[in-house]
Amino acid sequence: MQLARPSNLLRLMYLLPVLLLACSDSPGDRAGGMTSEEGVLRYVPADTPYVFAALEPLPGTVRSKLTPHVQALVRSYAEMLQAVVAQRADGVDQSGIDDETRQRIDAVIQELAGMITVDGIPEAGIDPESTAVVYGVGLLPVIRVALSDTERFEAAVSKLESRAGAKMETATIDGHAYRHAGNDEARVIVAVIDDQLVIVGVPAELPEAVLKAALGLTLPRESIAQSGALASVADKYGLTAHALGFIDVERVAATFIDDPAGVNAELLALMEYDAGGLSDVCKAEIRSIAAIAPRVVTGYTDITPQHFKTTTVVELRSDIATGMQALTAAVPGLGTGQGGLISLGMSLNMLAAREFYAARLDAIEADPYECEMLDDVQAAVAQGRALLAQPLPPAVYAFRGFLAVVDDIKGMDLQNQQPPTDIDMRVLVATDNPEALLATGAMFSPEIAALNLRPDSKPVKLAVPAMAAMIKAAWVAMSEDAIALSVGAGSENGLEAMLGVASRQPPPFMSMSLDAARYYTLVGDIAMHTDSDEAPEVTRANAEIMKNLGQLIDRISFDVEFTEHGIQMPSTMTLTD
């Protein structure tokens, strides 16, 4: 299956905080850890362009709930990695790895998988009280983990080196030993300093003062703990200390605009990037674009044995955020939880969207971009004006959004390549003028013209002779602000209720919810019964991962909302009982 590897990566990214947090023990008040000058945040510069921290352990009840699932997922992902490394097709090695190296990698994977437990990685000195942070010293990525036992960590690394059949090189700085591996351009450093594990990727040639700053041997002039920036973000968006962080888009952009210094100078030299060619006009305009979405914030908002809730916020300039709040519209049931295998919908006020777009074009025309790098953006203004000049039928401006719910898929047999024999689903279209929409449909279908539908939400059976083989039963109902269609035996029973559900206020822009257990089972079956260039071992490992995820997660839902802060994307992962 072509999407197996990227989708596995996405699932791992989504679940990684869960796996890491499951290594924690009983709850404790770690909110103070965001401003503590004794923890891992004391090493994070206040002006870091990005930071993601895990500062608080899970409640014991949640840890107990995750215990069997974490072990199974760790084993599944280890099997997946082993299968990918060992992958062959028609007897030909597809990985470019010789047999001896493959065996060593396999041994290291097995060793690592054996180390990860629900109590952390105790064999490596990472216990339930360990905290961690990923941050940038400039753009340079640094991983820092508080260790409970440095001797155990050193022993674990030595054991892994033995299984790998090779040792990392060693060096010292300010009396601190560290390991490193890499090439003539860049290397990865692994060090234990002040009872903390530090992993950092650096250019091969780095001035000692810069390396000391990256390793935390030289503390920043002001830390993020002292500035309170992370605590401020947590308070603003209701984030917990379990896992939270942000990317400062303006600081990242400034790295490529301003004269580089310190570690950024070394990194940009390695990238052969020189900002000297940018004019002052270009610098100012790129800075103004970065200010449109100055920061992205993410983190957990609530963790219980029943669910994990997160949110991600793309912060927007206040005038943009205010304008976007007018773009959504009332759609019955959107974002209220419709159940079923999957539900998906969106809302959009078409007239407000047109006005918002026109206002953006007005702003660019009033203060046009002069930087040659933004010529295409400026040229797009004329194209935008031409687009707005195109006439649209009134039905388009009456449109308010849609909601589609697939309740069930029956009769599908992937092994025998049998498509579904029946699909139960409901589709609702919200509009200011449902009668006009119905009249438009009647122009193309005499069956629709004969319905004599009224805005009373009462289902009327729809006969579609041309699709009788695929659709055994279809029903239509109309209210004063929507039309809904259902297919499937007995599906008419949900139409009136669907039309009668109030729209959530304020309405979300998008909303999706899926039955995770059924979804992951379906994806696993597809992986097993779809022709693929993956080796059978990889396919089986992928299906096993799907099975384990389905046993852990009951339902996943997320929304896209336009708020006074910008684009906010809350999500909920409901755990199985």
Report d(CA 445, CA 485) in Å as an integer: 15
Q: Is residue 470 part of a domain?
A: yes
Both tokens assigned to 414: 């992937």
Q: What is the DSSP letter of 294?
A: -
Identify the three-state secondary structure at position 461. strand
Low-confidence winner among 267-276, 369-378, 431-440, 501-510 (lowest mean pLDDT) = 267-276
pLDDT per residue as tens digits for the range 443-481: 777 777 778 888 999 999 887 655 555 567 889 999 999
Report d(CA 421, CA 406) in Å as an integer: 14
Phi, psi dihedral angles at 62 (to 5 degrees): -70, -40
Q: Is residue 567 part of a domain?
A: no
Element (H, E) at 290: helix 280-290
Among all chains, which residue has been given the structure tokens 């983990």? 145
Q: Is residue 256 part of a domain?
A: no
Nearest-10 Cα torsion for 441, 444, 450, 452: 20
Phi, psi dihedral angles at 53 (to 5 degrees): -130, 145
Q: Can you list the pairs that 560-564 forms with residues at least 24 positions away whose Cβ atoms lie under 8 Å?
A: 560/508, 560/509, 560/510, 560/511, 561/506, 561/508, 561/509, 562/321, 562/324, 562/325, 562/327, 562/328, 562/506, 562/509, 563/313, 563/321, 563/325, 564/318, 564/321, 564/322, 564/325
- Give alpha helix (H) positions in 339-425: 350-366, 375-389, 394-398
Identify the three-state secondary structure at position 439. helix
In this prediction, residue 492 has a pLDDT band, given cuts at 50, 70 and 90, of confident
Chain length of the chain: 577
Report d(CA 486, CA 358) in Å as an integer: 37
Report d(CA 228, CA 248) in Å as an integer: 15
Identify the three-state secondary structure at position 492. helix
Low-confidence winner among 15-19, 29-33, 118-122, 490-494 (lowest mean pLDDT) = 15-19
Residue 89 has pLDDT above 50, yes or no: no
Indicate the average pLDDT of the chain: 84
Report d(CA 362, CA 354) in Å as an integer: 12
The pLDDT assigned to 471 comes to 66
Calculate what percentage of the chain has a pLDDT beyond 70.
Answer: 86
Q: Is residue 65 part of a domain?
A: no
Exposed, middle or buried: residue 100 (CB in 10 Å: 0-12, 13-18, 19+)? Answer: exposed
Report d(CA 127, CA 125) in Å as an integer: 6
Number of domains in the chain: 1
Both tokens assigned to 425: 């689903």
Q: Give the DSSP per-residue string, 128-139.
A: TT--EEEEEETT
Residue of 161, 297, 293 whose CA lies nearest to 232: 297
Quick check: 17 and 54 in contact, CB under 8 A? yes
How many Cβ atoms from other residues are within 10 Å of residue 366's Cβ?
7
Residue 70 has pLDDT above 50, yes or no: yes
How many Cβ atoms from other residues are within 10 Å of residue 282's Cβ?
18
Q: Is residue 95 part of a domain?
A: no
Summarize the confidence of residues 396-406 as an average pLDDT.
94
Quick check: 230 and 41 in contact, CB under 8 A? yes
Exposed, middle or buried: residue 97 (CB in 10 Å: 0-12, 13-18, 19+)? Answer: middle
Identify the three-state secondary structure at position 110. helix
pLDDT per residue as tens digits for the range 92-110: 455 556 777 777 787 888 7
The pLDDT assigned to 82 comes to 77
Q: Is residue 333 part of a domain?
A: yes
Q: Give the DSSP per-residue string, 251-283.
A: HHHHHTTSPP-HHHHHHHHHTT--GGGS-HHHH
Q: Which domain holds residue 448?
A: 328-350+391-508
Residue 512 has pLDDT above 50, yes or no: yes
Q: Is residue 103 part of a domain?
A: no
pLDDT per residue as tens digits for the range 135-180: 999 999 999 999 989 999 998 888 888 888 888 899 999 999 999 9
Low-confidence winner among 186-200, 257-271, 389-403, 554-568 (lowest mean pLDDT) = 257-271
Report d(CA 247, CA 48) in Å as an integer: 9
Report d(CA 136, CA 452) in Å as an integer: 65
Q: Interhelix angle for 4-21 vs 60-85, to 10°?
A: 150
Calculate what percentage of the chain has a pLDDT beyond 90.
Answer: 48
- b/e sequence 178-209, b meaning 16+ C-beta within 10 Å: bbbeeeeeebebbbbbeebbbebebbeebeee
Report d(CA 438, CA 459) in Å as an integer: 14
Report d(CA 230, CA 512) in Å as an integer: 29
Identify the three-state secondary structure at position 229. helix
In this prediction, residue 26 has a pLDDT band, given cuts at 50, 70 and 90, of very low
Q: What is the DSSP letter of 213?
A: H
Q: Is residue 340 part of a domain?
A: yes
